[in-house]
């Protein structure tokens, strides 16, 4: 690894390489990104993200791109996409609520469900499909009415989280 970091993400790409993004190093928030090839044990620097991030999420979409959301060093709800085929980052539709320490769950239909984290009004999940972020309402009395920090979720075969 070229840059020591913590509070970063590690995401396995379709080609088997691992994309490492953001984090913090000596009180400096990072926008740098690196690729690790587990077959050769080598690290390669790829293009940096547009924004510095920590406590963010990174989700592989059905088209192989990586959605990186929230967790910026500024009070912002921005998201960006990494295209591993060309190594380029692009800004995409912002989420409606600023958050960090959240969970982003990849759904079977290719959408990403973003829930919880730290900020205000975080009992309201958001659904992302490439280029569109939708604010969702709580849909049943069993849904959480308080925000979740440092939580996790997994997809089940029944498509439930």
Q: What is the pLDDT of residues 4-17, one digit of tens each?
A: 999 999 999 999 99
Which token pair is 158?
């029944």
CB–CB of 124/138 below 8 Å? yes
Would you tell me which CATH number, out of the four given (2.115.10.20, 1.20.1250.20, 2.120.10.80, 2.60.40.1930), belongs to the domain 9-135? 2.120.10.80
Q: pLDDT for 76-115, tens place per residue?
A: 678 899 999 999 999 887 777 777 778 888 888 888 888 8
Measured over the CA atoms of residue 135, residue 140, residue 141 and residue 143, the dihedral's sign is negative
Closest CA to 62 of 16, 106, 17, 18: 106
Percent of the chain with pLDDT over 90: 44
* pTM exceeds 0.75, yes or no: yes
**Does residue 33 carry a pLDDT above 80?**
yes
Query: In this predicted structure, what is the pLDDT of residue 125?
Result: 75
Reading the block at residue 37, the tokens are 């090839």
Would you list the domain boundaries of the chain?
A: 9-135
The values of phi and psi at residue 92, to 5°, are: -135, -175
């Amino acid at each position: 690894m070229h840059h020591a970091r913590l509070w970063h993400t590690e995401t396995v790409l379709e080609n088997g390489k691992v994309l490492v993004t953001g984090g913090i190093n000596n009180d400096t928030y990072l926008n740098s990104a690196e690729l690790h090839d587990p077959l050769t044990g080598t690290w390669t620097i790829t293009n940096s993200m547009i924004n510095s991030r920590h406590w963010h999420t990174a989700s592989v979409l059905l088209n192989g791109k990586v959605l990186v959301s929230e967790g910026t060093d500024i009070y912002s709800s921005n998201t960006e996409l990494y295209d591993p085929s060309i190594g380029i980052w692009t800004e995409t539709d912002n989420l409606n609520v600023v958050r960090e320490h959240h969970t982003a769950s990849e759904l079977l239909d290719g959408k990403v469900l973003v829930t919880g984290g730290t900020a205000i009004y975080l009992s309201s999940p958001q659904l992302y499909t490439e280029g569109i972020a939708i604010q969702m309402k709580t849909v049943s009395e069993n849904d959480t009415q308080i925000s979740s920090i440092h939580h996790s979720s997994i997809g089940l075969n029944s498509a439930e989280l």
